[in-house]
Structure 1
Amino acid sequence: MDAITYSNFRQNLRSYMKQVSEDGEPLIVTSKEVEDTIVVLSKRDFDSMQETLRVLSNEYVMGKIHRGDKQFSKGNFKTHDLLEVETNE
C-alpha cells in the first residue's frame, strides 16, 4: 500500500482517485497530525468490506457457514456435474 502526503494527494486528486479505482489498492494519505491520516479505497472495495462485515455479524448465516464447513471437513458432501442452462435471447 502506497503512502502520499496530503498536499500531494490534493494536487493530484483526480489521478489518485483513478489509480485507486483501477488498481484496487488502497492509498494512505498522511498528514502532519498522525490522527488525521486517512486511507482511500475504491467504492467497490468499500462495498465488499461492508458486505463482509454484515455476513460476519449475522449469527444465523455464520452458523450455517460453520455447519457446512464441519460437514465438508468430515467428508459429508456430494459432488454434482454442472448443468448447462440454455438462455433464449
Structure 2
Amino acid sequence: MLAVNYTNLRDNMKTYMDKVTDDYETMIVLRKNNKNVVMISEESYNNLMENIYVMGNKENYDWLMKGKAQLENGQYSVHELSEAEDNE
C-alpha cells in the first residue's frame, strides 16, 4: 500500500495513477485533519463490489464455502467439455 501527500500526488498524478492501475496498488492520499482518501483502480473497485455482493448473501456464501471445502478435501471430478452445436 502506498501513502502519498496531496501535493506530491498532484505533482505526479500520472505516475501514481499508473501505479494504482498497472501494479494494482492501493494508495492512501494523506490530507490535513486526517481526512485521507483511498485510491484504487476501477478494476479493483468492481472486484471489491462483486465480492461484497456475492459474500453478502448468506445462502450463496455457505454454498461457496461448501464447494471450497470439497475442493480442498479432494472431493471433485474432472469432465471433458463438449462443444455446443451451431444451432444451440
Q: If the TM-score is normalised by the length of the shorter chain, which range does it land in?
A: 0.7 to 0.9
List per-residue Cα deviations over 1:19-66 (Å, max 9, x = no partner). Answer: 2100101111101211x1111111111111110000110122113123
Residue 83 of structure 1 deviates from its aligned partner by: 3.4
List per-residue Cα deviations over 1:1-27 (Å, max 9, x = no partner). Answer: 121111111122122111210010111
Percent identity of paired positions between Structure 1 and Structure 2: 27
Show the counterpart of 1:53: 52
Q: Per the alignment, in what secondary structure is the counterpart of residue 77 of structure 2?
A: coil
Q: Per the alignment, in what secondary structure is the counterpart of residue 32 of structure 2?
A: coil
Tell whether the 8 Å contact from 2:70 to 2:76 is kept in structure 1 after alignment: no
Give TM-score, length-normalised by structure 1: 0.75
Distance 1:58 1:13, change over 3 A: same
Q: Per the alignment, in what secondary structure is the counterpart of residue 33 of structure 1?
A: helix
Show the counterpart of 1:62: 61
Give the letter for the 1:83 counterpart.
L
- CA RMSD between the two structures: 2.5
Structure 2: gaps of 5 or more residues:
none
Distance 1:45 1:85, change over 3 A: same
